[in-house]
Amino acid sequence: MNASSTTGLPLEGLRVVEFTHMVMGPSCGMILADLGAEVIKIEPPGGDKTRRLPGLGIGFFRSFNRNKKSVVIDINTPEGLETASELIAQSDILLENFRPGLMDKLGLGYDALSKLNPRLIYVSHKGFLPGPYENRLALDEVVQNMAGLTYMTGPKGQPLRAGTSVNDIMGGMFGAIGVLAALRERDRTGKGQEVQAALFENCCLLAAQHMMQYQMTGEAPPPMPSRVSAWSVYDTFTVAEEQQLFIGAVSDKQFQSLCQVIERRDLAEDETLSTNAQRVARRPELLKRLGETLRHHKMEELMPKLEAAGIPYAPVMRPDQLLDDPHLIESGGLADMATDDGGNAKVVLLPLLMGGRRPGVRAPLARVGEHNDEVLMRLASEREADPGH
C-alpha cells in the first residue's frame, strides 16, 4: 500500500486503519505512526470521546494520537460501513479495541475482513486473551488488582494502583510488536493474520518475577514497601527543605563513598557496618542515623557530590517537572506538537534511537475529520484504478 508522503522511516508505505479510543489501541497506532506508517484514525460523528475526557484523562488523546490522520465515518450506517470496508480492503493493518464481539457484529471482525483482504493484519486490543475471562470488560485498574500489581505496589493491606496506565500502554506496545512480527511472516507467506494483545496478560508478565520468586522459595512475596531489602541503603530520604531523594548504596565501596560525601566518618569506620550483611542486620538503626544527617543536606548541593562519587540517586519528581528535565530535553525526548485547537504542547517521543535518529512529530494533531477529503478522494481514485479489487 502506498502512503501519501515520504518519511524515510522504516514503516513508510504501510497503511493502518485504526478503530480505537482511550489509551491501549491509540498507543499501538502512535508507535506505528511514529515509525512511518500512514495511520488513519476512524472517528465517529462528533469525534472520539477521548478528546473530551476530563481530569486524569484530559491528556490521553494528545499523548497517544500524534502523526495520525482523522477521518469521520459512521460505521453504524450502511454507507459508512461500506466506505470503511473499502478502505480496509486497501490497507495493510487494522487496529481495534472495542468491547468483545462488537466488530464481529458490525461485520468488521477478522473472519469477514480476511476474506476481503487476505493480506490484512488485524490487531485486537482486549482485556483478556481467549479463555474463561474473555467476555469480561476490563480497565487498567481491574487487571492491576487481578494480576497482583496493586498488591505488590501498596503497603501491606493497602493495595495501590500504579500511577499511570501501565497495562494500556504496554498492551499497545505488544500490539505493535505483534504487527512487526506479522509483517515479517507476511513477507514469507503472503498472508495476514489476527494479532491479539490483552491487559490481563500484560499485567501477569509484570508480575512474572514475583510468581517465580514464590515457586523458588515457597513463600508469597511481600508487597514492595514491606520487602526485606537485599541492600542496607536503598531508600528515599527526606533532605533539607522537605525535598525527597532516593539513594541506593548497594556495595561496600558505595557505602564508604556515601559516608564520605555526607561526612559520617564514624559510620565508615564502624567495623560492625563494614559489610552489606552487617549493615542489613542493623538496617533500621543505620537508616535512622543516615536520615538524621541527610535532613541537613540541600538537594542541589548533594546530588552533584553523589554523582561524582558514583552513587545511584534520584530526586522524587512530579510529571510536570519533567517538562524542564535537562536530559529529556537535550537527548531529544521532548518535541513540540501543534495541537488540534491551534495551540502547542510538548510530547514525549518513543524511547528509541534508530540509526542515530529519534522518530519525531511530523504533523499537527489532527482535527476531527480533517483528512476526510484527502483519504476518501484517494480511495475513490484507487477504486477507479483497480475496479476489480
In contact, 26 and 18? CB cutoff 8 Å: yes
Domains of the chain (ranges, CATH numbers) = 15-207+331-385 (3.40.50.10540), 229-318 (3.30.1540.10)
DSSP-H helix ranges across 123-251: 140-146, 149-153, 166-189, 199-206, 208-217
Tell me: the pLDDT tens digits for 241-293? 999 999 999 999 999 999 999 999 999 999 999 999 999 999 999 999 999 99
Residue-by-residue DSSP string for 35-82: TT-EEEEEE-TT--GGGG--GGGTTHHHHH-TTEEEEE--TTSHHHHH
Among 5-9, 118-122, 339-343, name the one with the lowest average pLDDT. Answer: 5-9
Closest CA to 47 of 341, 348, 335, 289: 341
Task: State the amino acid at position 319 in one-letter form.
Answer: P
In whole angstroms, give the CA distance from residue 168 to residue 199.
6
Q: What pLDDT score does 387 carry?
A: 64
For the record, the C-alpha cell of 338 comes out as 501543534
For helices 166-189 and 24-34, angle between their N-to-C axes, nearest 10 degrees: 50
Tell me: the pLDDT tens digits for 207-235? 999 999 999 999 999 999 988 788 999 99
Tell me: the pLDDT tens digits for 53-66? 999 999 999 999 99
Tell me: the pLDDT tens digits for 84-112? 999 999 999 999 999 999 999 999 999 99
**pTM score > 0.85 for this model?**
yes
> Coil, strand, or helix at residue 344?
strand
In whole angstroms, give the CA distance from residue 33 to residue 39.
6
Q: HSE-up of 370 (CA within 13 Å, CB side)?
A: 15
What is the residue whose three cell numbers read 459508512?
Answer: 80
